[in-house]
Amino acid sequence: MITSKTISNGILRALLTVVLCSLILYFFYQIQSVLIYLAISLILTLIGLPILHFFKKRLKFNHLFATIATVVIFVLIIMGFIMMFIPLILSQGQNLSLLNTAEIEKNIVQLMNQLTLFLESYHIDSSEILKEANITSKINFNVVPNFLNTIVATISNFGIGLGAVLFITFFFLKDRVVFMKGARKLIPDIHEDKILNSLDKINNLLSRYFIGLLLQLFIVFILYLIVLAVFGVPNFLIIAFLCGVLNIIPYIGPLIASVLAAILTMMSNLGSDFQSEILPTTIYVLIGFWIVQIIDNNLSQPIIFSKSVSSHPLEIFLVILIAGYLFGILGMIVAVPFYTIIKVVGKEFFPENAVIRLLTKNL
């Protein structure tokens, strides 16, 4: 029989549960930077494990020196990127931060006027449309220098985060076996074998995935670099790097990269004739970027998605699409690793399920 005391106790427990969950979420929100450092360190650990094993098995390093060598490689790669891009970003940031925003607006208006004249040469009257839209009055041009100043100001914070990530990664690599033994003590005996097998498979698959993803981004970066350099686009190095990084976002990233490259190409050629120089160069760059995407979609991505995580390209496409609808761009980025984890766990704990058997037949 349900009494008023039972109901009140149930309500009290529900309220305490809600309060406890809220406090936990608030705590995680307050330490979100630490959680990000841990996530990045975990990814670097997965990438570094094959390198660590190479030093131990091929070069006969002991575990400590192999760990140090792996972290040193990460440091050298990161320092290489810093030496390559930070001076360029700083110089461009200082230059643009000193610009009069009215001058930036003047350049934009000049570009729009050239576009209007070009369209009118083909009897397309776009002047009235542009005037009615009054685009320049709706854009806050102070955003450009302010944004670049913010980037320069956050470089010191990046240094702190980088130090924390490398420190955590070192101990993830060095004490991985110790962590696994500690986790084993917390695992119920009845599920120990399944959980440990799942962790091993997840570690192997995600290591291959992240290494393949880095290789894909590097290939795309080099191809973008060649396209921009061939057509003489200023600052082609930083533009290629930014566009290459955008390829982390499946399907949408390359589209954003093409638009960004087109805008930066037109902006870098202000003062030139629109019809004979700006427009042809932009079209050639876009065609080059689309060719790069054809190469990437037909060579790089199938190798990464099909080989590294043992999933069909159509399967991956649907997973990324669903994750994008549910969680946006972040969901698209983490869709493949998260889906891989679900498949491995499903195969270990529900091997007789027909759907699980179908999805994990290649694992």
Tell me the per-residue pLDDT of 287-343, one tens digit each, with 9 for 90 and over: 989 888 888 877 777 677 777 777 777 788 888 888 888 888 778 878 888 888 888
The pLDDT, as a whole number, for residue 247 is: 84
Is residue 166 domain-shared with residue 214, that is, in the same domain? no
Residue 171 pLDDT greater than 70, yes or no: yes
The mean-pLDDT minimum among 15-29, 108-122, 206-220 falls in 108-122
Is residue 114 domain-shared with residue 201, that is, in the same domain? no
The pLDDT, as a whole number, for residue 9 is: 76
Residue 92: CB partners within 8 Å, gap ≥ 6?
A: 148, 235, 238
pLDDT category of residue 97 using cuts at 50, 70 and 90: very low
Is residue 174 domain-shared with residue 113, that is, in the same domain? yes
- Which of 186, 207, 224 terminates a domain? The answer is 186
Q: What distances in angstroms separate CA 267 from CA 97, 149, 278, one per listed residue? A: 16, 20, 9
For range 335-354, the mean pLDDT: 83
Residue 271 pLDDT greater than 80, yes or no: no
The pLDDT, as a whole number, for residue 84 is: 65
pLDDT category of residue 72 using cuts at 50, 70 and 90: very high
Residues 107 and 272: beta-carbon distance below 8 Å: no
Place of tokens 């030139």: 272
- Which of 157, 186, 215 terminates a domain? The answer is 186
Residues 329 and 256: beta-carbon distance below 8 Å: no
Give the Cβ contact number of residue 195 at 10 Å. 17
The pLDDT, as a whole number, for residue 95 is: 46
Residues 305 and 311: beta-carbon distance below 8 Å: yes
Angle at 281 between CA 279 and CA 285, to 5 degrees: 115
- Distance, in Å, from the CA atom of 169 to the CA atom of 269, rounded to the nearest integer, reads 44
Q: What distances in angstroms separate CA 13 from CA 1, 5, 18, 22, 198, one per listed residue? A: 19, 12, 9, 14, 35
Residue 257 is part of which domain span?
187-363
Coil, helix or strand at residue 99: coil
Coil, helix or strand at residue 134: coil
Higher pLDDT, 56 or 185: 56
- CA 118, distance to chain mean position in Å, is 38
Is residue 313 domain-shared with residue 165, that is, in the same domain? no
Is residue 219 domain-shared with residue 156, that is, in the same domain? no
pTM confidence score = 0.68
127 φ/ψ angles, rounded to the nearest 5 degrees: -65, -40
Tokens of 301: 């991505």
Is residue 191 domain-shared with residue 145, that is, in the same domain? no
Is residue 84 domain-shared with residue 127, that is, in the same domain? yes
pLDDT category of residue 141 using cuts at 50, 70 and 90: very low
The pLDDT, as a whole number, for residue 282 is: 84
Q: What distances in angstroms separate CA 345 from CA 46, 197, 200, 202, 274, one per listed residue? A: 18, 9, 11, 9, 57
For range 107-130, the mean pLDDT: 63
Q: How many domains does the chain have?
A: 3
Q: Minimal CA–CA distance to 351: which of 338, 341, 360, 339? A: 360
For range 24-46, the mean pLDDT: 85
The mean-pLDDT minimum among 26-40, 75-89, 222-236 falls in 75-89
Torsion, CA 50, CA 51, CA 57, CA 63, rounded to 10: -110
Average model confidence (pLDDT) for the chain? 76
Higher pLDDT, 264 or 22: 22
Residue 334: CB partners within 8 Å, gap ≥ 6?
A: 323
- Which of 135, 162, 186 terminates a domain? The answer is 186
The mean-pLDDT minimum among 127-136, 174-183, 249-258, 326-335 falls in 127-136
Q: Minimal CA–CA distance to 68: which of 174, 185, 194? A: 174
Tally the C-alpha atoms within 13 A of residue 284's C-alpha that lie toward its C-beta: 15
Tokens of 15: 């309220």
pLDDT category of residue 98 using cuts at 50, 70 and 90: very low
Is residue 238 domain-shared with residue 323, that is, in the same domain? yes
In single-letter form, the type of residue at position 91 comes to: S
Is residue 88 domain-shared with residue 198, that is, in the same domain? no
Is residue 104 domain-shared with residue 3, that is, in the same domain? no
